[in-house]
Amino acid sequence: MSDPPVEGKSYGDIIVAAFRKNRTACLALWLSVGMMVGAALTPLFANDRPFYFRGTMPGEYRKSFNQLTRGAYFNILGLPGRLRAEVEKFEKRSATEAEFIKRMDDAEARRLYPTISRLRKRADEMPEIRGRWASSDEPLEEMLSLMTPEEKAAFEIVIARVVRDLRSTYQGLLDNALDGVSLKLRELADQLDSETAARTKALEAKFRAAAGGDYLTTKEDRRAALKGAVDEARAALDPEKVRHQAKLRYPLFDSLNGMDVLFIVTTLLALVTFGPLTWARLKHLRPIGRRWFVSWALVLAPSAAAAVVWELAHEVKFQSVSYKKGTEDGSIQMTSSLWPPIRYRFDEVPEVREGVSFPSPPDNTHILGTDFMGRDLLSRMMWGSRISLSIGFVSAAISVFIGIVLGSLAGYYRGGVDIALSRLIEIMLCFPSFFIILAVVAFLPPSIYNVMVVLGLFGWMGIARLERGEFYRLIGQDFVVAARALGATNVRTMFRHVLPNGLAPVLVSASFAVAGAMLTESGLSFLGFGVQEPNTSWGQILYTGRSQLQHWWTFVIPGAAIFLAVTCYNLVGDGIRDAVDPRLKT
């Protein structure tokens, strides 16, 4: 910044030019960009299903058919009976103590508990009642006559609650079973000619009608109706008689969810648009992309839209089909297909075979070997990078956000605000933060979102300090005075005028923060907290590999990946620092 202003070059241009001179940092930047792209596109690189194939799936058809006519049918048919039995058990007997213990968190249950336990104690004093209480399914008339009105009321409330809960549970189960039927029917229809396929629509309506109604009372009618639906399905969809339609299918794309689509589309769009833009800028062809948020919006808006559309319109079919096994045993016949380069998914456990023990070392089928369950390590590393990198980025983003806001406030308003915030920063800096992060992550239910938030909440102090210093430096300058003189509000001055000029040091910290968060996350995973099976992150792979010390690949590879990524982000941060503050170099 001691350089004199250069005509026609923005501050950003100068920083970029200085950064580009640092070859190590550039290499690290490219590597980290490559890692991000790889992480986002992982579902396309490492998956257990082909991008597309043309062919039929007779085995799958038969399986779906069997599941529909046997499993789904009995599921639906069995449910009301099971519910009825449960409800009757509770109505006839008493609310058991177990019910209360299950609900001890519930205020009402705690209130009723003394009443019921008093009743129970009295029953315990009468041996013949106690015996029947324990064994019989009959209503206990004696019991009822013993009860005081208060106890009776408590009893009623408990039973009503139990029955209500049971009903909603069973309604959920029934809905699930019906959804299962619909899915199976759709899967079947998908393999048939359009004429037969049309008939499944009517069948689905029939199943739904048969399952509806008050399922506690009309038992026999339902059985008949369901039987009718199933018989009709049997007749119409018999695997021996139907003609299978050879079709072009896209199993890999079918298995993506909205989040995957968001990542993939964003990455591809960013590559397509930013690549040429950055190149043009670096070659000084045109100073494009100054309004970087416009270009980001141009990338993010369509991908977000694509993700939402996908999430709403995409139909999940054949999710549990194993395409590899299918091609081997002939239940899937492919005439042409295209597979991803790595034919394994992160959670794909091979079948147990004689003479094969895991973890198996790197060879031609598993380039990086397998873990102790036989899952392909390369695939796990790639899928794990998605979680490791996203934890790094999201928690760094949270830290940066909090740091910028608090630092700006402290630096802009000074006085009491500054003193209070500085004190807070100092307290947080003295915090043995890894201790508390470990405690919190261990106490909260295991989820990567908790890890992200906790890491973010304990990492903002350095950034807030930096930003406060930047504000102190900038606030006396003429352009700030000018902005204020023009009547800009405090918020506008802070975030539109001062902040953009004080962002460069934050960029440095942000890069270090990503590295730091990744390191902490892998440390947590290494201690067994963090990502849970079958999902995976690099730290988690290292954690599972740690117990098989004789198999080097299970812990050397994930550790090396963590090391490489952390080094890259640190080197990038270092490069930006040198570029921003040339005083350190000369």
Partner 1 sequence: MRVYLLKRLLLIPVTLLGITLLTFLVMKLAPGDPSQVLKAQFSGGNMQATEANKKALEQWRKDRHLDRPIYVQYGYWLRDLLRFDLGRSFMPPYPKVSGIIWERMWITVIMALIVFTLIYTIAIPIGIVGAAKQFTLWDRILTVAPFILYSLPSFWVGTLMIVYLTGKAFPTTGYYPKSIAEAGFGTWLLEWVRHLTLPIICETYAGFAFLSRQMRSSLLEQIRQDFVRTARAKGLSERVVILRHATRNALIPIVTLFGSLLPFLLAGSIIIEYLFSIPGMGQLFFQAVLERDYPVLMGIETVSALLTLVGILVSDLLYVLVNPTISYE
Which C-beta is closer to partner 1: that of 498 or that of 519?
519
Stretch that binds partner 1, among 43-51, 76-84, 303-311, 545-553 (CB under 8 A): 545-553
Which C-beta is closer to partner 1: that of 320 or that of 550?
550
The mark string for 199-218 relative to partner 1 (x by CB under 8 A, - otherwise) is --------------------
Query: Which of 26, 27, 438, 488 lies at the binding interface for partner 1 (CB under 8 A)?
Result: 438
Smallest gap from residue 436 Cβ to partner 1 (A): 6
Query: Which of 174, 571, 572, 580 lies at the binding interface for partner 1 (CB under 8 A)?
Result: 571
With 0-12 / 13-18 / 19 or more C-beta atoms within 10 angstroms meaning exposed / middle / buried, residue 70 is exposed
Query: Which of 1, 10, 21, 24 lies at the binding interface for partner 1 (CB under 8 A)?
Result: 24
Which C-beta is closer to partner 1: that of 266 or that of 522?
522
542 binds partner 1 (CB under 8 A): yes
The mark string for 497-536 relative to partner 1 (x by CB under 8 A, - otherwise) is ------------------x---x--xx--xx---------
433 binds partner 1 (CB under 8 A): yes
453 binds partner 1 (CB under 8 A): no
> What residue type is 249 in one-letter code?
R
Question: What token pair was written down for 330?
Answer: 């002939």
What DSSP state is assigned to residue 218? -
What DSSP line would sit under 494-560, residue for residue?
Answer: IIIIIHHHT-HHHHHHHHHHHHHHHHHHHHHHHTT-SS-TTS--HHHHHHHHTT-TT-THHHHHHHH
Task: Give the footprint of partner 1 on residues 105-134 (CB under 8 A).
Answer: 117
Smallest gap from residue 15 Cβ to partner 1 (A): 19
Question: What token pair was written down for 260?
Answer: 């995957």
Give dist(CA 117, CA 358) in Å, integer.
54
CA 237 to chain centroid: 37
**Among candidate residues 414, 419, 413, the one with its CA nearest the CA of residue 493:** 413
Locus of tokens 């049918």: 73
Give dist(CA 535, CA 22) in Å, integer.
37
Query: Which of 171, 423, 477, 490 lies at the binding interface for partner 1 (CB under 8 A)?
Result: 423
Cβ atoms 45, 382 nearer than 8 A: yes
CA 208 to chain centroid: 32
**What is the Cα gyration radius of the chain?**
32
Query: Which of 277, 405, 444, 488 lies at the binding interface for partner 1 (CB under 8 A)?
Result: 444
Strands (E), 145-230: none
Locus of tokens 């690290």: 28
> What does residue 249 show for φ and ψ, rounded to 5 degrees?
-120, 155
Smallest gap from residue 411 Cβ to partner 1 (A): 21
Largest CA distance in the chain: 101
Give dist(CA 67, CA 59) in Å, integer.
12
Task: Give the footprint of partner 1 on residues 91-110 (CB under 8 A).
Answer: 101
Give dist(CA 388, CA 539) in Å, integer.
8
Smallest gap from residue 430 Cβ to partner 1 (A): 5
SS3 289: coil
DSSP strand pairing (333-338 vs 247-249): unpaired
The mark string for 551-570 relative to partner 1 (x by CB under 8 A, - otherwise) is -x--xx--x--xx--xx--x
3 binds partner 1 (CB under 8 A): no
Smallest gap from residue 545 Cβ to partner 1 (A): 9
Query: Which of 202, 429, 481, 486 lies at the binding interface for partner 1 (CB under 8 A)?
Result: 429
**Among candidate residues 494, 472, 463, the one with its CA nearest the CA of residue 573:** 463
Task: Give the footprint of partner 1 on residues 348-407 (CB under 8 A).
Answer: none
440 binds partner 1 (CB under 8 A): yes
Determine the size of the site formed for partner 1 (CB under 8 A): 43
**Among candidate residues 235, 181, 174, the one with its CA nearest the CA of residue 204:** 181
Query: Which of 356, 442, 481, 482 lies at the binding interface for partner 1 (CB under 8 A)?
Result: 442
Smallest gap from residue 514 Cβ to partner 1 (A): 12
Cβ atoms 340, 45 nearer than 8 A: yes
Binding site residues, partner 1, CB under 8 A: 24, 101, 117, 423-424, 426-427, 429-436, 438-440, 442-445, 515, 519, 522-523, 526-527, 542, 546, 549, 552, 555-556, 559, 562-563, 566-567, 570-571, 574, 584
